[in-house]
Amino acid sequence: MRATRLTVAALAATLLLTACGSGGSGGSGGSDDDAKNEAGGACALTGVGVQVDAGAAPKAGDTGNVTVTITNHGAECTVTGFPAVRLKASGTTADVPEDKAATAQKVTLAKDATASFTLTYVRGATGGDKSLAVRTGEFSLPGATARHSFPWSYGDVALKGGASTPDASVTPFQQAGD
């Protein structure tokens, strides 16, 4: 009888661990310092899938948009506000400022629901001294430390006034889908 209880407990533990998948596709997930989504709490990168789509700017001076969509794979959770977005070039990291015209809101995500944010940028001249040769983008969910990285293949990003601030902005999370 005791062997049966241990076998059942081991089987239950195996099934529970098998059900825990990794969140995200494309790029790399964050670290383990953010937990899976807890019912009603803040969404965590480990509990969501990530999709990155772009309307790339074709030439210097044009505006492009990169839309990042997260899909909740766990318990109902929330995202409130703006993601923290960084653009990385060799040896340089630049924070993308929040869109000053946008208002942050609380978005509640049921299982399989989606939310998105948009990074809008001005394409810079390739190799120019007023451009950032971005190779990687990364973001974290509001209030979280874990980051999701994705390859940047949308060209250089212009810098504002020759400074190290990218000519870009990011919107807050918004409900996506139907």
Instruction: Indicate whether this model's pTM tops 0.85.
Output: no
Q: What is the pLDDT of residue 142?
A: 94
Q: What are the sequence ranges of the domains in the chain?
A: 23-176
pLDDT per residue rounded down to tens, the chain (178 residues):
444 443 333 333 333 332 333 333 344 444 444 456 666 799 999 999 999 999 999 999 999 999 999 999 999 999 999 999 999 998 899 999 999 999 999 999 999 999 999 999 999 999 888 999 999 999 999 999 999 999 999 999 999 976 789 999 999 999 987 6
The count of other CB atoms within 10 Å of the CB of residue 69 is 18
Among the residues of 63-163, which ranges form H helices?
Answer: none
How far apart, in whole angstroms, are the C-alpha atoms of residue 47 and residue 172?
19
DSSP codes of every residue in 71-119: EE-SS-EEEESPPEEEEEETTEEEEPPB-TT----EEEE-TT-EEEEEE
Q: Could you tell me the fold of the domain covering 23-176? A: Immunoglobulin-like (2.60.40)
